[in-house]
Amino acid sequence: MREVLLLNQDGNPLTLWPLSTLTWQQAIKALFLEKVTVLRSYDDWICHSQHISIPVPSVVMMNRYHHQKGTVNFTRRNVFLRDRFHCQYCMRHFSSEHLTVDHVIPKSLGGRLRWKNVVAACLKCNLSKGANIVPPTKTGLLLARIFAMAKSSGKDKSGQSRLTVYPFEFLHKISQLFNTIQRHGIVYRSPDSSY
């Protein structure tokens, strides 16, 4: 069965992923309850009842504005949407089946599952990165999405890994330095990296 696109009163879909849709039965019910206005109808599909025939709507707009909550749920799909389905290490586009969520600061070094610490990564890049902290990419897209990055600075008295967190402004300057180095053809490798 075909679905009906549901738009808010401002003309935007209520949700983008998955796209806000209704069944044709829900759309007709909302139309009779005067909750929606029909913007477009299917040309080749008419719903008949005993006393009335109406074209089945294909796009409807709500008559009252539906206020959205101000937060976005933390899900794999929303991470992929934020990163535009691009691996943040090799900058190639992938389908959601070929992407993983990678911790920029690995869990083993105290990284947490937060918006600021996860990025979309392809399987190959995620496996090659492992538990290392990788410097920013050439384009700096990774850096633009992460407001803080850390490096291991040894272990504290209890044996837990200590992290040094850098502010975003410092990381922006480091990103510019990496970009300059890469433009001049110098390959950067950290002293502790094995790749």
- Summarize pLDDT for 15-33 with one digit per residue, the tens: 776 788 999 999 999 999 9
User: Considering only CA atoms, which of 88, 100, 183, 189 is closest in space to residue 142?
Assistant: 88
Q: How much is the average pLDDT of 174-178? A: 53
Under CATH, which number does the domain 76-183 receive? 1.10.30
Kindly state the tokens that stand for 134.
Answer: 């990788």
The secondary element (H helix, E strand) that includes residue 128 is helix 123-129
- Summarize pLDDT for 65-121 with one digit per residue, the tens: 988 776 677 888 888 888 888 888 888 899 989 999 998 888 888 888 888 888 899
> How buried is residue 4: exposed, middle or buried, by Cβ count under 10 Å (0-12/13-18/19+)?
buried
Q: How much is the average pLDDT of 135-147? A: 46
Would you call 44 helix, strand, or coil by DSSP?
strand
Is residue 21 within 8 Å of residue 3, measured between CB atoms? yes
Would you list the domain boundaries of the chain? Answer: 4-62, 76-183
